[in-house]
Amino acid sequence: MDKNELLNNIRENVVTGMDDKVRDECRQGLEAGIPADEILDKALLKGMNEVGDLFSKGEYFIPELLVAERAMKAGIAVLEPELVKKPTQSLGKIVIGTVVGDLHDIGKNLAAIMISAAGFEVVDLGTDVSAEKFIEAVQRNKAKAVGLSALLTTTMINMGPIIKALRRAGFKGPIIIGGAPITQEYADNIGADFYASDAVDGARKLKLTITK
């Protein structure tokens, strides 16, 4: 199998969530001398971005995103020893978390998957995250952007104070918000830079903003 055929197979197996095949093919790729960062970019991330496109078109749903992520991660685990020898060029770090008072995280986790697939390094602070924790993580990681998630009307009201606290602490990068009750109007009202209707939309908007 030539290099392009193998990379294409890995990409296709990420798209269909075949983690065992991705793992085996990534091993084959390394053995054949394909650089780990090339397998990452041209097969794993490319496949995951294709999954995002299919999700946007309404052809893929939450399960397909989750199994594709598993397949991508299975491949990354194989590549990791090589990747750490020659760190890949990340687009930067994005700090994300579900805001204080809110314990939901499926939407936030899906966002983390798609933001990673877009080429960023995700610093996921988990759920119930206070303004102080966001500020500390942003400063420590020199974050390029921040993503805030909330599922409830009662917890989305905590987004505004966190955005204000981040700005007061000197963070100038874009802040993107998402979650079931969130609208563009709400994002505008609380001073967020963007609203994401779903995980794929959020990753796209971040990439467009940061790489423009």
Is 17 among the residues that bind another protein (CB under 8 A)? Answer: yes
Q: Residues 134 to 163: which contact another protein by CB under 8 A?
A: 152-155, 157-158
Is 132 among the residues that bind another protein (CB under 8 A)? Answer: no
**Which is closer to another protein, CB of 7 or CB of 187?**
187
- Count Cα atoms within 13 angstroms, Cβ side, for 70: 11
Is 126 among the residues that bind another protein (CB under 8 A)? Answer: no
Q: Of residues 8, 28, 66, 133, which one binds another protein by CB under 8 A?
A: 66
x/- mask, another protein, residues 86-115, rule CB under 8 A, reads ---------------x-xxxxx--------
Assigned token pair, 144: 């390029």
Instruction: Say how far apart CA 209 and CA 3 lie, in whole Å.
Output: 33
* DSSP assignment of 11-78: HHHHHTT-HHHHHHHHHHHHHTT--HHHHIIIIIIHHHHHHHHHHHTTS--HHHHHHHHHHHHHHHHH
Is 189 among the residues that bind another protein (CB under 8 A)? Answer: no
Which stretch in 31-39, 85-93, 131-139, 174-182 sits in contact with another protein by CB under 8 A? Answer: 174-182
The distance of closest approach from Cβ of residue 154 to another protein in the complex, given in angstroms and rounded to an integer, is 4
Assigned token pair, 196: 């994401």
Q: Is 84 exposed, middle or buried (0-12, 13-18, 19+ CB in 10 A)?
A: exposed
> Binding residues for another protein, per CB under 8 A?
17, 58, 60-64, 66-67, 70, 101, 103-107, 152-155, 157-158, 180-183, 197-198
